[in-house]
Each structure stands twice: as structure tokens, then as C-alpha cells.
Amino acid sequence: MTEGGVQAVIRITKRDIDRFEAMAVFEKELRSKGYRAVAGVDEAGRGPLAGPVVAAACILPEDGVFYGLNDSKKMTARRRDYLFEQIRRDASAWSIAMVGPEEIDRTNILLATKEAMKRALSELPRKPDMALIDAVSLQGFDYPVLAEPKGDARHNVIAAASVLAKVARDRMMENWDKVYPAYGFASHKGYGTRAHIDAIKQYGACPIHRRSFLSGISGKAVEQSPYHIGLRIERLIAQELITQGHQILEHRYAVQGVGEIDFISLFQGTLHIIECKGRGGGTLFFGGVEQALQSPQVEKIRSVAALWTDQHRDLAGRPMAFLYAAADLDRDGQVVSIQFIPF
């Protein structure tokens, strides 16, 4: 089951079963030698012009059946989504970590990829006896770590990690598409397609672009009007929401004659209605929500939220949280901190 929808069923063939059994041979051999908990690690997003590099680690149960596993790039989106939910539900342990564009630009993509993989391994809720990594060597762990070329097509645990990393990253980029619709992130996931490059040339780079990947691609400068500053604040707040795991459902959802909501998101089964504000360096504190949001504005937000749920009956029964996202800005207009305050 995914948030907001029913998990689809996939068709399993004899070829899928045979592949799964063949890809389990090495892991069974390792277990026979005493390595009972074998972790797989893989990444997604080394090549795109935008977005994070995401890594995942997982340990599959010895008797678990995950038919359909393969290199995630060779699987259909429907099959990946199905296995993503199954792995998160049935794996012995799993974790997903990421390194954002700023750190990629500050170091390089190889170091950023290794850092994401280290985080994923370190954040596993269960310590593995051994780790198998797709083609990348990692040091600094007190258990064996083996680099396995083309491991996502040879070992089930790496294939499972590949699915976790790719689906998690794809969903992040689909969220970003709601925030930066001009770039088409939902379709190309940040990769350097002609349409994506043309959008960068037309609109300039956005905050989730990797500046070190954009040599030779020039775009217009970012505008600094109050409208664009407000939009930039909202997008930085969106970055925080997406990092936390929110699914962005709407950005600037408006009902003519009633009002507008900055963000509607879904997180841990709860709908979040979010109003964004930024305050400059001259403001020492935000004070209470009542000082920032007047009663008429709150009523408009609640009215728009009610109209939205009327149009989305599949989500109408979810609990709802109203949050004021207060962004504290320095003298240069950069976001220093974000507070999420219920109202």
C-alpha cells in the first residue's frame, strides 16, 4: 500500500523465479560461512543535472521471496513500485539516505555517492555481518564490505537496494516537479534531456540543480522581486518538507474568490496544510501564530482546505494538520532556519 493509493499486483513469470533463485546463490554461500545478515547497497542519481544522489541499504530475510528483483533500471515503474513496498514491508532491515546538490558541488559526485552509501549502511537498524555494494568500494566499517561489479543484476540484496534508491529518488523528483514545474522533473527525473537543458537556458538554474554539472549551459539570472523572493522562500521550505518525507500534493493551490494554500502535503498518513512566511534579519522572533496569521486569513485557508478535500474523496478521511512555516531570513535574504508552528 502506498500513501494515497492501493498497491498494484505484478505478474510473476518462471523467468522471474529462476532469476531470483540464481541471484540468491552467492548470498546463500555467504550465510553458510557464517555471514547471516548480508546487506546490499546501491545508489540512484549519479548522472542527473539536478536533485540528490540517493543510496539505500537493505538486509533480506533468509527465507524471504522477492520475485521480480533485477537491476532497477531494467524494470518497469509498476514493478519497481510494487517491490519498493514489499521490500519496506518484509525486509529484515532497510534504510535510505541522500546527499544533496550543495554537497555534490562542494565535493564531487563520486565522494557524494560514497557518503550517501555510508549513511545508508550506518543507518540500518540492524548491523550486517557483511555488505555487498554495487561497484563501489567503501572503507570504515568493522565488517567485510565487498564491491561487486554489476551487483544489482547479480545479487538480490543489491537489486533490492537498487529498487529502494531509485523509487525513493524518483518520488522526490516528482515532488520537486510540483515546486519547480517549468523544468519537467517528473518526466526526466533531473537527467540532461534536451527539454531539461532548454528549460535551464530559458529559466536559469533552480536551487536543486548541481551547478558543477551545468558547465556550458547558461540561463538567465534569478529575479529578486518580492514575488520571486516569496517563491524562493516557499521552495526552500519545500526542500525541508521533501527531505522529511512529505509527498507534495499541491503548491499554491487557489480557489478563486476564496483563497490560496501554499502547500498541501501528505506525511505519515496525515494531510498537512502549510502556509509559508519569511521574516527578515530585523525581526528577533516570530511570536505567536496569531501575530502572523489573522483570523480572516486562517478562515480562508481552512475553507480552501475543505474545498480541496471535497474534490479528493480518496483522501478526505485523513487527519489534517495546519502548519505555519516560518522562515527566518538573514540580511541578505537567505533562509537561516525554518519553524513549523501549528495553527
For the segment 158-169, what is each residue's pLDDT rounded down to a tens digit? 999 999 999 999
Domain limits, the chain: 14-174, 223-342
The CATH classification number of 14-174 equals: 3.30.420.10
HEC-encoded secondary structure of 248-260: EEEEEEEECCCEE
Q: Which residue has the cell 546463490?
A: 25
* CA count, 13 A, side-chain hemisphere, 265: 28
- What does the CA dihedral 83, 59, 27, 71 come to, rounded to 10 degrees? 40
Q: Is the pLDDT of residue 90 over 50?
A: yes
What pLDDT does residue 292 have?
66
Over residues 176-220, the pLDDT tens digits come to: 999 999 999 999 999 999 999 999 999 999 989 999 999 888 766
Average pLDDT over residues 314-334: 85
Q: Is the pLDDT of residue 15 over 50?
A: yes
What pLDDT does residue 291 have?
60
- CB atoms under 10 Å from CB of 313, counted, come to 8
Over residues 104-158, the pLDDT tens digits come to: 999 999 999 999 999 999 999 999 999 999 989 999 999 999 999 999 999 999 9
Mean of the per-residue pLDDT values of the chain = 90
Of 103, 106, 56, 109, the C-alpha closest to 83 is: 56
pLDDT-derived band at 333, boundaries 50, 70, 90: low
The CATH classification number of 223-342 equals: 3.40.1350.10
What pLDDT does residue 217 have?
87
The answer to whether residues 150 and 159 touch, using CB atoms and an 8 Å cutoff, is: no
C-alpha cell at 217: 549551459
pLDDT-derived band at 230, boundaries 50, 70, 90: confident
Q: Is the pLDDT of residue 290 over 60?
A: no
The answer to whether residues 325 and 313 touch, using CB atoms and an 8 Å cutoff, is: no
What pLDDT does residue 5 have?
45
> What whole-number distance in Å separates Cα of residue 11 and Cα of residue 165?
22
C-alpha cell at 299: 478562515
